Chains A and B, each alone.
Chain A
Amino acid sequence: MDPGLIAQHTMNGLMLGMMYALVAVGFTLFFGVLDVIKFSHGDVLTVGAFTALAAFIGMRSIGVTSDAAQLLVILLVAIGTIALLGAVIAKLFVLPLRTAPALNTLLITLMLGTVLREAVRLFYPDGANPKPFPRLLPSDSINIGNLNLRLDNAILLAAGTLVIVGLQFLLNRTKLGLAIRAVAQDEETARTMGVNFNAVVLITFAIGSALAAFAGIMNGLYYNEINFGIGLYLGVVGFSAAIIGGLGSIYGAILGGFLFAALQTIGAVALPFASAYKDVFAFAVVIALMAWRPTGLIPEKLSERV
Chain B
Amino acid sequence: MALAGLDKKPSILPGATAVVLATAFLIVLLRVENQKAVITLLAFGMVAVVATNWLGYFTPVARSFSAREDALGPFTVVAALVVAAVFHEDHFVLLMLCTVVLYTVATLGLNIQFGYAGVLNFAGASFFGIGAYTAAVLNQHTAVPHLLVLLTGGAMAAMIGSLLLLPVLRTRGHYAAVVTIAFALLLKTFLEVNDILGGPQGLQVRGMNIFGWSFNNNIEFAGIQLSFYVSYFLLSLMILIVAFLLVRRVERSWIGLNLDALRLDETAASCFGLNIVRWKVTAFLLGNFLIGTAGALFGMVGGFVQPNNYTFADSLILVSILLLGGIGNPWGVVLATVLVVIVPEKLQVIQEYRFMLYAALVMIVLLFRPEGLLPRPVRRYFSEWRS
A182, CB-defined interface residue at 8 Å: no
Contacts of A104 on B, CB cut-off 8 Å?
366, 370
User: Separation in Å of the B4 CB from the closest CB of chain A?
Assistant: 41
Indicate if the CB atoms of B270 and A107 lie closer than 8 Å: no
Q: Given the known A-B contacts A102-B173, A290-B175, A294-B175, are A107 and B167 also in contact in the complex, defined by CB atoms under 8 Å?
A: no
C-alpha spacing A295/B176, complex, angstroms: 10
User: Separation in Å of the A122 CB from the closest CB of chain B?
Assistant: 6
B319, CB-defined interface residue at 8 Å: yes
Which of B34-42, B206-214, B253-261, B349-357 is the contact stretch?
B349-357
Which of A110-118, A163-171, A185-193, A202-210 is the contact stretch?
A110-118
Which of B131-139, B181-189, B285-293 is the contact stretch?
B181-189
Contacts of A31 on B, CB cut-off 8 Å?
174
Contact flags A93-126 to B (C-beta < 8 A → 1, else 0): 1001100101110111011101100110010000
User: Separation in Å of the A276 CB from the closest CB of chain B?
Assistant: 4
Contacts of B270 on A, CB cut-off 8 Å?
306
Residue of A102, A111, A243, A291 touching B363 (CB-CB under 8 A): A111
Residue of A106, A247, A286 touching B182 (CB-CB under 8 A): A286
Indicate if the CB atoms of B356 and A115 lie closer than 8 Å: yes
Contact flags A147-169 to B (C-beta < 8 A → 1, else 0): 00000000000000000000000
Residue of A111, A122, A233 touching B316 (CB-CB under 8 A): A111
C-alpha spacing A229/B367, complex, angstroms: 26
B171, CB-defined interface residue at 8 Å: yes
B18, CB-defined interface residue at 8 Å: no
User: Separation in Å of the A145 CB from the closest CB of chain B?
Assistant: 31
Indicate if the CB atoms of B185 and A236 lie closer than 8 Å: yes
Contacts of A239 on B, CB cut-off 8 Å?
178, 181
Residue of A102, A284, A288 touching B174 (CB-CB under 8 A): A102
Contacts of A122 on B, CB cut-off 8 Å?
352-353, 356
Indicate if the CB atoms of B182 and A287 lie closer than 8 Å: yes
Indicate if the CB atoms of B356 and A114 lie closer than 8 Å: yes
Indicate if the CB atoms of A118 and B359 lie closer than 8 Å: yes
Indicate if the CB atoms of B359 and A112 lie closer than 8 Å: yes
B240, CB-defined interface residue at 8 Å: no
C-alpha spacing A114/B324, complex, angstroms: 16
Indicate if the CB atoms of A279 and B186 lie closer than 8 Å: yes
User: Separation in Å of the B355 CB from the closest CB of chain A?
Assistant: 5
C-alpha spacing A279/B193, complex, angstroms: 10
Contacts of B355 on A, CB cut-off 8 Å?
114, 118
Contact flags A75-107 to B (C-beta < 8 A → 1, else 0): 000000000000000000100110010111011
A140, CB-defined interface residue at 8 Å: no
Contacts of B367 on A, CB cut-off 8 Å?
93, 96-97, 108
Indicate if the CB atoms of B189 and A236 lie closer than 8 Å: no
Contacts of A2 on B, CB cut-off 8 Å?
none
A240, CB-defined interface residue at 8 Å: yes
Indicate if the CB atoms of B177 and A37 lie closer than 8 Å: yes
Which residues from 345 to 377 on chain B have a C-beta closer than 8 Å to any C-beta of chain A?
Answer: 352-353, 355-356, 358-360, 362-363, 366-367, 370
B267, CB-defined interface residue at 8 Å: yes
User: Separation in Å of the A182 CB from the closest CB of chain B?
Assistant: 23
A6, CB-defined interface residue at 8 Å: no
Residue of A112, A115, A284, A290 touching B178 (CB-CB under 8 A): A290
Indicate if the CB atoms of B193 and A274 lie closer than 8 Å: yes
Which residues from 301 to 360 on chain B have a C-beta closer than 8 Å to any C-beta of chain A?
Answer: 312-313, 316, 319-320, 323, 352-353, 355-356, 358-360
Which residues from 262 to 306 on chain B have a C-beta closer than 8 Å to any C-beta of chain A?
Answer: 266-267, 270-271
Between B185, B190, B270, B319, the greatest number of chain A beta carbons within 10 A of the residue's beta carbon is seen for: B185
Given contacts A31-B174, A291-B166, 6 further A-B contacts (CB under 8 A): A97-B367, A100-B370, A103-B173, A283-B182, A294-B175, A304-B267
Residues of A that sit less than 8 Å from B by CB: 31, 37, 93, 96-97, 100, 102-104, 106-108, 110-112, 114-115, 118-119, 122, 232-233, 236, 239-240, 243, 247, 274, 276-277, 279-280, 283-284, 286-288, 290-291, 294-296, 304, 306
The 6 A-B pairs of least Cβ separation, nearest first, read: A118-B356, A114-B359, A276-B193, A291-B167, A283-B186, A111-B359
Residues of B that sit less than 8 Å from A by CB: 120, 164, 166-167, 170-175, 177-179, 181-183, 185-186, 189-190, 192-193, 266-267, 270-271, 312-313, 316, 319-320, 323, 352-353, 355-356, 358-360, 362-363, 366-367, 370
